[in-house]
Structure 1
Amino acid sequence: MKIVAAIVTLAVACGLCLLTQDNVDAAIKEHRVERLNARIENIYTADYQKMADENLAAARGKSAATLDDPFVEENPYGTNTTSLYVYFTTDEKTSVSYTVSAAGYPDFSATAEQGDDYATTHEFLVLGLIPNVKNTITLTLKDSTGATVATKQIIHKGAKILGEEEVRLEQPVEPTSEATQALGNGLYAILGNDSNDQDFMYYYDVNGVLRGEVPVLYYRSHRLLFDDDGLMWFSASTKHFVGMNRLGKLEKIIDLGDRFILHHDYALDSDGNIVSLATDLTRSDHAVQDQVIKVDTTTGKVTQLIDFGDMFPDYKASTDHSGIDESDPTATNRWDWIHFNTIQLLPDGSALFSARETSTIIKVDDIEGTPKLDWMVGEPTVWDGTSYQKSFLTKVGDFGDTGGQHSITYEEDPSLPDGQYYIYMFDNNFGYAMTRPDFDWTTIKGISTAQSSKDENSRSQFRKYLIDENAGTYTEVQSFDVPYSPYVSSSQEITDTINLVDTGMQGVFGVYDDDGNLQAQYRMGLSTGYIYRVYHYDFKGFYFA
């Protein structure tokens, strides 16, 4: 009995030790995250950016800043962890290209954007350093004839990343030559691998290698927008839009104030202002994700453009008061009756919207003037009993409508007559609406009602429609199956024949040809539940020339 008692006592003691160590580890991690959050909050202030600018200029002024002895500074503005600022002058005007090499990783090469194609003052950001290892950056200078006039090597150990992302992604399908050629030296932007700790935007190259880590305040960036003044705009929280220059400095930091929070998507209008999906926090009915605002990127002024509850009052009143707002996870009693997830601005001043909760694509005219419903596409019976059914375009062909679609994209084609254009999208092919619990989504041909992305019998699709506003019709012109994701996800046409698709809830994104054949596939570990979007950017005129 004494032996048994001793064994029990030892087991309890070991268990307490393990429990205590777990608590210690959790406390250490919590403290580290709190310090990191505070650090990032400081970076996203005008005072910090001004200080960083002054410190950079002071240090640069003390350096030789020649090609033989260039001035370099790691991540000077705190906005891209593994980036390297480079500055030097030459007597002859040249372009600068660079190649980043590190043992065990593919090289990464680019032509630096330095303001002018050929210059004597060379100031640029090198992307692509591998963290925590020796990197060799080879600079190549060429004159306007294309002749190489000089080279220089810089040895620099890559910075330690702030997050826990993979330095190299798993690649179930290695990129084909077609995929490599189409993607070039552009980068995948991972938008919204949401975390309960610190949030980031990540850049990966065609080989699945990490080439940039951009910390954000919280929530996520939903897409990158490039204005005519050389700024890249993105959301850094539910409250903040920022404009970053090519060197990583945050030149504009806009706080939306107390009334609105942004969610899911935004676009630049013809004046360079941001038109964004939003939630009005002051509503007494707690309706969410049903507003559109304009943010003046010069003054920071926020203006309401649309309250869709005013545009669709009958439909809104017919829905159950339920739902959540994932951009405000602490909220209660929310009414997520339509849930917009994409906005696309058209050249004529109209806009396209993707409404997840109704599985409907909606066009609104005169978005910044007197908004008016133009047409809708989707399953009309979702809107039974309302006056809006007459606005539906007529389907031409035998195909099922979308279910909870995301990432709709407007595409012009000069070969089409006026009034015709394409829309492509990630069709989740998932039938469900929390605010319409009694609707039978199996009305839609081929739709799934499986809540789990692991359901073996369910598939999502890349889909493309031809819209003919003259005839009042829509036709499916392309579709292929992709891994299933009932929520989130994205699609993007990279070239006429190569497409990028993110299956968000599986942490998988792939490159497909127009027949749906995989040309490359990548898998990323999920921080919590999904990767919201993956888009490819060539960054020409910004990071790269």
Structure 2
Amino acid sequence: MVSNDNVSAAIKERRVERLNAQIESVYTTDYQQMMDDQLTSERDAKERTVDNIYTKINPYGTNTTSMYVYFTTDKASTVSYTVSADGYPDYTATAVTSDEAASAIRSAVDSYTSTTGDTITPSAAEETEAASDVSEDKLASTTHEFLVLGLIPQVKNTITLTITDTDGQTTTRTITKTGPKLLGAEETRLEQTVSPDDDTLTALGNGLYAILGNDSNEQDFMYYYDANGVIRGEVPVLYYRSHRLLFDSNGLMWFSASTKTFVGMNRLGKLVKIIDLGDRFILHHDYALDSDGNIVSLATDLKREDHAVQDQVIKVDTSTGKVSLLLDFGELFAKYKASTDHSGIDESDPTATNRWDWIHFNTIQLMDDGSALLSARETSTMIKVNDIEGTPTLDYMIGEKSVWDGMDEQSSFLTKVGDFGDTGGQHSITVQYDSSLEDGQYYVYMFDNNFGYAMTRPDFDWTVIDGISTAQSSKDENSNSQFRKYLVDENAGTYTEVQSFDVPYSPYVSSAEEINSDLNLVDTGMQGVFGVYDDSGNLKAQYKMGLSTAYIYRVYQYGFRGFYFA
């Protein structure tokens, strides 16, 4: 029996090594160009009309269950598709079939955001509303090139294409494919501990939940699941995780594929840009696109002699790949850093020892005035820094002031208005502008872990925060986390809690996202569950995913308008 176990372990190890090597190859310019040349040669060998449609499963190796489609029509047309498989709900979407249509939709989304001032990152619902204003003439084309998402693995899939010309005439074509085997061991359909009702399904639309960071000791992936909990995409990454998806004005979707790699993927799945950070910095936890389309990222400086981690901000030029340091918080908060114990780990580098995780940033949001709002887990503080890409200076802080006793920065705290406890180890903070508010006012919402602990401040009594938990286990029956939302008024120097409700407890990681005006997506990472709640905290849908190791880092819903979908 022991011998059989050893053989099984050895076989599994070799399989993982082969898969790792395969994915390492995918994330190279040579591989992407080779597959692009092969695709073009096969596609253009014959005339491709509605009666001779060209298809190819996962042509660039970047989305296991996707299918590339190409054909032409005599009249400008739009294309929608439905993926059907026995035992699974249908999945229907309208495809973006040309770069011109994709650009028109992204411009509409950007215009919507700038006109309404509603949010930094549009939700799936907002993207859908913006895309609805794009005229059919801009969406229609005579050449149709797109990805079908969502083939069900290892079963027969029927893909029905509905082709509608600008005169309203429709043509349908049916393609049958056996879905490919998943590379990972994730569920094809998640357990739904609370199934969404019809109204919730309609509100969620065909946006997809992106599972960001179900970390594994083997191969790592990003997954797309639909509102029925069915897998519609499996995106392999090199290792570690992707932390969020960013969409630039050139039609690329940017994400991290390892601690040292950013990639820009086009709507067909090709990796157009692959950027290595070099030997000085590794990224962690979060990043954002600035107004020039460059990436501003949280980072660790590997060259530091004191082994401080997760306390830097870098800029990555997405055109040249150049990496530059924007801010070393160890210099900005030198006195506070020196007051902390030299301890901690660096989860983005599990082999590292003797690390000094004194502030541990986990979110960065770039704001309209050139500043940035950051979430510091180790101090349970939100910190606004002015001129993040120029000469950074501290603007304000939000949180429990006594954490910073004896520090000059304590005078920068905004005044709390109301009777509520501050956050504990908050994650996934999001700045949300609202055109109904005065200049200088905006909302900030977050996943409040409600967990009081800091490895580098072992003597601090976190129970000074009303209602906070100090339980390290997510299974603690007496603890809960919260979805929380503040109104920040920079003019008055105040912050006020305007919304909060309890969610399952996760002392670390996790995320929150407003999907629309009454639905909120919350990932309780250490329990492997994510749910959709209304604004009163009523659970409308909940999904459970098997954990590869310890937790799911984040779950965000994306509309993918102007990328995969019209």
State the partner residue of 1:258: 279
Query: Which amino acid is the alignment partner of residue 63 of structure 2?
Result: N
Aligned to 2:304: 283
Q: Does 1:540 align with 2:561?
A: yes
Measured after TM superposition, the shift of residue 381 of structure 1 is 0.3
Is it true that 1:56 corresponds to 2:39 in the alignment? yes
Amino acid at match of 1:91: D
Matched, 1:128 2:157: no
Q: Tell me the secondary structure at the aligned position of residue 236 of structure 1.
A: strand
Which position in structure 2 is the counterpart of 1:451? 472
Is 2:82 the counterpart of 1:91? no
**Match of 1:277, SS?**
strand
Inter-partner Cα distance in structure 1 for 2:148 and 2:259: 29
Are the aligned partners of 1:376 and 1:392 in contact in 2 as well (CA < 8 Å)?
Answer: yes
Equivalent-residue separation in structure 2 for 1:181 and 1:123 (angstroms): 28
Tell me which of the two structures has the higher relative contact order, counting C-alpha pairs closer than 8 angstroms and 6 or more residues apart.
Answer: 2
Question: Aligned-pair distance for 1:274?
Answer: 0.1
Residue-by-residue CA offset, 1:146-167 (whole Å, 9 max, x unaligned): x242110000110110000000
1-side partners of 2:512 and 2:203: how far apart? 15
Shift of 1:69: 1.6
Contact 1:277 1:291 in 2 (8 A): yes
Partner of 2:542: 521
Over 2 Å off, 4+ runs: 176-179
Match 1:380 to one of 394, 401, 405: 401
| Structure 2 residue corresponding to 1:140, chosen from 152, 159, 162 | 162
* 1:462 equivalenced with 2:462 (yes/no): no
Whether contact under 8 Å (1:138, 1:152) holds in the other structure is yes
The match for 2:219 among 176, 182, 198 is 198
Task: Output the amino acid matched with 2:89.
Answer: P
**Offset from partner CA, 1:339-377 (integer Å, 9 cap, x none):** 000000001100000000000000000000000000000
Query: SS of the counterpart of 2:87?
Result: coil
| Separation in 1, partners of 2:317, 2:195 | 43
Structure 1 unaligned spans of 5+: 1-17
Tell me the secondary structure at the aligned position of residue 107 of structure 1: strand
Asked if the contact 1:467–1:475 (Cα under 8 Å) also holds between the matched residues in 2, the reply is: yes
- Residue identity in the other structure for 1:131: P
Q: What CA distance in whole angstroms lies between the structure 1 residues aligned with 2:396 and 2:2?
A: 59
1:101 maps to amino acid: S
Aligned to 1:360: 381
* Aligned equivalents of 2:169, 2:456: Cα separation in 1: 64
Which residue of structure 2 aligns with residue 239 of structure 1?
260
SS in 1 for 2:370: coil
Find the counterpart in structure 2 of residue 496 from structure 1: 517
Contact 2:284 2:310 in 1 (8 A): yes
> Contact 1:118–1:144 (CA<8 Å) still a contact in 2?
yes
Aligned position for 2:22: 39
Cα deviations by residue, 1:378-419 (Å, 9 ceiling, x for unpaired): 000000111110000000000000000000000001000011
The answer as to 2:210 corresponding to 1:210 is no
Q: Residue 41 of structure 1 aligns to a residue in which SS?
A: helix
Letter in structure 2 aligned against 1:226: F
Q: Matches of 1:478 and 1:166 in 2, distance apart? A: 34
The Cα shift of 1:121 comes to: 0.7
Q: TM-score, normalised by structure 1?
A: 0.96
Residue 182 (structure 1) shift: 2.1
Secondary structure in structure 2 of the residue aligned to 1:124: strand
Q: Aligned partners of 2:379 and 2:202: how far apart in 1? A: 39
How far off its partner does 1:144 sit?
Answer: 2.5
Structure 2 residue runs of 5 or longer lacking an equivalent are 102-138
Distance 2:561 2:9 in 1: 43
> Could you report, residue by residue, the CA deviation over 1:117-152 in whole angstroms, capped at 9, with x for unpaired residues?
11111100000100001000000011225x242110
Q: Distance in 1 between matches of 2:47 and 2:8?
A: 46
- Check conservation: 2:451, 2:470, Cα contact below 8 A: yes
Q: Output the CA distance in 2 between the equivalents of 1:144 and 1:503.
A: 46
Conserved? CA contact 1:64–1:71, under 8 Å: no
Choose which of 495, 500, 507 in structure 2 pairs with 1:486. Answer: 507
Match of 1:476 in 2: 497
Question: Helix, strand or coil for the counterpart of 1:42?
Answer: helix
Residue 111 of structure 1 corresponds to 94
User: Do the aligned residues in 2 keep the contact of 1:140 with 1:148 (CA within 8 Å)?
Assistant: no
Match of residue 440, structure 2, among 419, 423, 426: 419
Q: Check the 8 A contact 2:75/2:166 in 1, yes or no.
A: no
Counterpart of 1:254 in 2: which secondary structure? strand
What SS does the corresponding residue of 1:211 show, helix, strand or coil? strand
How many residues end up aligned between the 2 structures? Answer: 527
**Which one of 444, 459, 478 corresponds to residue 438 of structure 1?**
459
Cα distance between partner residues in 2 of 1:396 and 1:375 = 16
Q: C-alpha offsets along residues 298-320 of structure 1, whole Å, 9 cap, x if unaligned?
A: 00000100000011001000000
**1:36-64, Cα deviation, whole Å (9 max, x unpaired):** 00000000000000001000001111234
Residue 446 of structure 1 aligns with an amino acid whose one-letter code is: G
Q: Deviations over 1:264-311 (max 9, x none)?
A: 000000000000000000000000000000000000000100000011
| Partner secondary structure for residue 90 of structure 1 | strand
2:552 aligned partner: 531
Q: How many angstroms apart in 1 are the aligned matches of 2:469 and 2:280?
A: 37
Conserved? CA contact 1:234–1:241, under 8 Å: yes
- Structure 1 distance, partners of 2:385, 2:399, is 15
CA distance in structure 2 between the partners assigned to 1:361 and 1:497 by the alignment: 25
Superposition pairs of residues 226-375 of structure 1, within 5 angstroms: 226-375=247-396
Output the amino acid matched with 2:559.
Answer: D
Secondary structure of 1:30's aligned partner? helix
Matched, 1:180 2:163: no
Does the Cα contact within 8 Å between 2:260 and 2:277 map onto a contact in 1? yes
Q: Is the 8 A contact 2:309 2:346 kept in 1?
A: yes
CA distance in 2, matches of 1:131, 1:64: 30
Between the aligned partners of 1:102 and 1:127, the Cα distance in structure 2 is 13
Question: Contact 1:43–1:77 (CA<8 Å) still a contact in 2?
Answer: yes
Please state how far the C-alpha of 1:463 moved relative to its aligned partner: 0.0
